[in-house]
Amino acid sequence: MKCVTCRGPAVIDIRRQNANYCVDHFFEQCRRQVTKAIDEWKMIEPSDRVLVAVSGGKDSLAIWDLLIELGYQADGFYVGLGIGEYSEVSHSHAAAFAESRGLTLLTVDIPTSYGYDIPTGSRAARRAPCSACGLSKRHLFDAAALEGGYDVLVTGHNLDDEAAVLFGNTLHWHTEYLGRQLPVLPARDGFPKKVKPLVRLTERETAAYCLLKGIDYLVDECPMAVGNRHLSYKEALNDIEVKSPGAKHSFYFGFLDRASKHFAPEADEDREGLEPCLTCGAPTPSGTCAFCRLVDRAGGHQPEPVPVELGAIRTRTTS
Ligand code: Q46
Ligand code: ZN
Ligand code: ZN
């Protein structure tokens, strides 16, 4: 197997491109794909302050590393979910990566700051763990980006993630979500700009990137992911991809090119008419936001205001 660029020994084959790469040209290929996504979708300006949502897994550490390599000024943000050993190990990977490169990792620990954890809190609130977890993370990511004055929030969603979400939303015709499934969501009142620069790379490629770069990431799946439909959609798409290399790419990018605009009006309607949450000030259709209601039902509490330099998020108040 030879590298398509230099004819040296290749370490990875990328079937959807019908190409093999040596280590250096694979790194170059990853940087090229991320740059292409950033340029094509105007994701990040060179002077932007970037906040990367970091879980300690391969995708978030790979995109943090790639953004630093590409010269962006990027801090990391980690949310402790209180999922036992899984959370402890994931935090140690995120912290070790930041330390090894002299980067800043902001951290909010939900049990410490909000008084609940995802396994018991989701049960108490009668929500599926991933639903409570996703809601908590989205709220805290947005708050951290806005309160830290960051220009853009980066998440590590890759092509497999986006194709699987698209598959699920199409299967059930969640049209209000289809209009929002874009690699860039612009900033608007109460929401930071959110971007997904890894959408041109698969999870096999982000894993290979970390392995070849010596980035130690959390390999284990979250124990709460068992039975998660998202994983079964990924498996279904992987089966299709084996028989038809490039299927995921054409499914997702074909949707962006040809279909997503048809669903945009419905998604816009969904985001209109928001007002500040009575408890935390985050945008919500009315009254108290879904996150504050979750905190309440999960038996938690709102955090005490603490200085930002201690790494926690201050409580916002409505004006
Ligand atoms: S961390 Fe949270 Fe995932 Fe675990 S509880 Fe579900 S959503 S599976 S990305
Ligand atoms: Zn090469
Ligand atoms: Zn709120």
Residue 177 Cα to ligand 2 middle (Å): 40
Closest residue (by CA) to atom 7 of ligand 1?
130
Residue 121 inside a domain? The answer is yes
Q: State residue 313's pLDDT score.
A: 44
- Tell whether 11 is covered by a domain: no
**pLDDT at residue 316 in the model:** 38
State residue 318's pLDDT score: 32
pLDDT at 227: 79
Structural domain includes residue 276: no
Is residue 292 domain-resident?
no
Which residues on adjacent β-strands are paired with residue 193? Answer: 152
Q: Separation of 221 CA from ligand 1 center, angstroms?
A: 9
- Domain total in the chain: 1
Phi, psi of 125 (to 5 degrees): -85, 0
Residue 49 lies in a domain: yes
Residue 240 sits at the vertex; the CA angle it makes with 238 and 242, to the nearest 5 degrees, is 70
**What CATH number does residue 61 fall under?**
3.40.50.620
Site to substitute for ligand 1 among 133, 158, 220, 231, most atoms within 8 A of C-beta: 133
The pLDDT value recorded for residue 317 is 35
Quick check: is 31 in a domain? no
Q: What are the E-state strand segments in 152-229?
A: 152-154, 184-185, 193-195
List ligand 1's pocket residues with C-beta within 6 A: 118, 129-130, 133-134, 222, 224-225
pLDDT in tens, the chain (319 residues): 999 999 999 999 999 999 999 999 999 999 999 999 999 999 999 999 999 999 999 999 999 999 999 999 999 999 999 999 999 999 999 999 999 999 999 999 999 999 999 999 999 999 999 999 999 999 999 999 999 999 999 999 999 999 999 999 999 999 989 999 999 999 998 899 999 999 999 999 999 999 999 999 999 989 998 878 899 999 999 999 999 999 999 999 999 999 999 998 877 766 678 899 999 999 999 999 999 999 999 999 998 765 444 444 443 333 3
Cβ-contact 193, 152 below 8 angstroms? yes
Atom of ligand 1 nearest to the CA of 223: 4
57: exposed, middle or buried (Cβ count in 10 Å: 0-12, 13-18, 19+): buried
Which of the listed residues 86, 90, 122, 130 should we mutate to test ligand 1's pocket, taking the one with most ligand atoms within 8 A of CB? 130
Which of the listed residues 78, 165, 222 should we mutate to test ligand 1's pocket, taking the one with most ligand atoms within 8 A of CB? 222
User: Which among 288, 311, 314, 289 has a CA at the least distance from the CA of 303?
Assistant: 314
Domain that holds residue 178: 41-219+226-266+299-317
Q: CA 250: distance to chain centroid?
A: 21
| Position 26 in a domain | no
- Other CB atoms within 10 A of residue 5 CB: 16
Classify strands 275-276 and 184-185 as parallel, antiparallel or unpaired.
unpaired
- Strand 73-80, strand 49-53: pairing: parallel
CB 218 within 8 A of CB 55: yes
Quote the pTM value.
0.93
Instruction: Identify the pLDDT of residue 267.
Output: 74
For residue 74, the CA-to-ligand 1 centroid distance in Å is 24
| Cα 275 to ligand 1 centroid, rounded to whole Å | 28
Return the SS3 of 237. Answer: helix
Distance between start and end Cα atoms, the chain: 63
pLDDT at 319: 31
Q: Is residue 232 part of a domain?
A: yes
Q: Which atom of ligand 1 lies closest to the CA of 221?
A: 8
pLDDT at 271: 65
Nearest CA to ligand 1 atom 6: 130
